[in-house]
Amino acid sequence: MNPSSRGATLLGLLAILFWSTSVGVTRSTIEFLGPTGAPALLFSLSALLLWPRRRPLRELPRPYLIVGATLFVAYELCFVLALGLARDRGQAIEIGMVNYLWPSLTVLCSALAGRQRLNAPMLGGLALAFAGVIAASSPPEGMSPTRFFLNAADNPLCYGLALAGAIVWALYSTATKHLAQGRNGLWFFMPLSAVAFWIIHLLQASPPPMDWSARVVVQVGLAGAAVTLAYSLWNTGVLHGNIHLLGLAANGTPLLSALFASILLSTPLTGMFWIGAATVALGSLLAALGARRRGGAAA
C-alpha cells in the first residue's frame, strides 16, 4: 500500500469512528431541540460546511442526481425520525441496532442488482444480523424474540422507520455504486435533507420547543462537524484507500456505535445487548465474505 493509499485508508477508518457517534449525538441533540428541529439544524450546518466543495450540478449523472437524492433524503428522514420517536434512550440505542441491518442488506441488494445468485453465507449473514437485533432487545436473562416484537408492536412507527431506513440505505449504497460514475453529490444531498426536515418542522401545528443553552450550541456544532467529516472522510477512503480493509472494518460499527451511545447517553447496556451487537457485526461480516466469495467465483 503506497503512502497516499495508506493515508486515505486511515481517513476512512476515522470516518467509521465519527459515524459510530451518530446514534448518541443525534438522540441527545433531539432531546434538547426536538425530533425535527434538531436534524434540521444539524443538516443545515453540514450543508454549510460542504458548500465550498460544491460542483456544477451538470457534472452529476442525472440518474444518480434523482435516485441518489431521493434515497439519501428518505434514509435520513427514516433514521433520524426513528431515533426521535424512541420512547427513551435505551430504545433509541436498540433502534440503532435495527439500522445496522443495512450492511447485510446491501450485500443482498448488490447481488440482486448484479444478477448474482445468493449463497448461504449471504443469507445466513442477514439471518444472523437480524438475530442480533432481537438479542439486543432481549432482557438480561436471555434471548427473547417475544420481547422484540412486543417492543415493535408498542412503537410500530419507530421500529418501522428504522427498518425502512436500513433497506433504503442498502438501496442507496447499491444505486450510487452503479449510477454515480465516481462523482460525489453529498454537497447537494445534505441541504435537501435539511430542507425536508425544516418543512416537516414548520408544518407541525405546534413544533416542539427548542431548549437552547451554550452546551447545546457547542453540541450542535460538534455533531454537525462529525456528520460532515464522517461522510467526507469515508468518500476519500473509498475512492483512494483500501476498500477491502475499510469494508471489513465497517462491520464493527454496531459495536462501536453501541459503545459511544452508551457513553454519550449515560445508558448502561446489558450483557445480552452486547452479545446482540456482536452478532449483528458478525452477520454483516459473514454476508460480506459470502459476497466476496461469490465475486471471486464469478471472476
Query: CA–CA separation, 80 vs 82, rounded Å?
Result: 5
Average pLDDT of span 110-138? 90
Query: CA–CA separation, 79 vs 221, rounded Å?
Result: 20
Average pLDDT of span 155-175? 94
Q: Is 206 helix (H, G, I), strand (E, B) or coil?
A: coil
Mean pLDDT over all residues of the chain? 89
Which H or E run includes 74? helix 69-85
pLDDT value of residue 1: 55
The string of pLDDT tens digits covering residues 73-123 is 999 999 999 999 999 999 999 999 999 999 889 888 888 888 888 889 999
Its domain, for residue 38, covers 3-298
Average pLDDT of span 151-159? 95
Total number of domains constituting the chain: 1
Q: How confident is the model at residue 202 (pLDDT cuts 50, 70, 90)?
A: very high
Record the pTM. 0.91
Average pLDDT of span 219-231? 87
pLDDT value of residue 295: 56
Q: Is the pLDDT of residue 297 over 50?
A: no
Cβ contact 85:157 at 8 Å: yes
Output the DSSP codes for 225-242.
HHHHHHHHHHHHHHHHS-
How many helices (H) and strands (E) in the chain? 15, 0
Q: Which residue has the higher pLDDT, 76 or 236?
A: 76
**CA nearest to 161, candidates 75, 90, 227, 102:** 75
Q: Kindly state the percentage of the chain with pLDDT values over 90.
A: 57
Cβ contact 154:288 at 8 Å: no
Highest mean pLDDT among 73-77, 147-151, 178-182: 73-77
Query: CA–CA separation, 172 vs 18, rounded Å?
Result: 20
Q: Is the pLDDT of residue 299 over 50?
A: no
Average pLDDT of span 19-23? 90
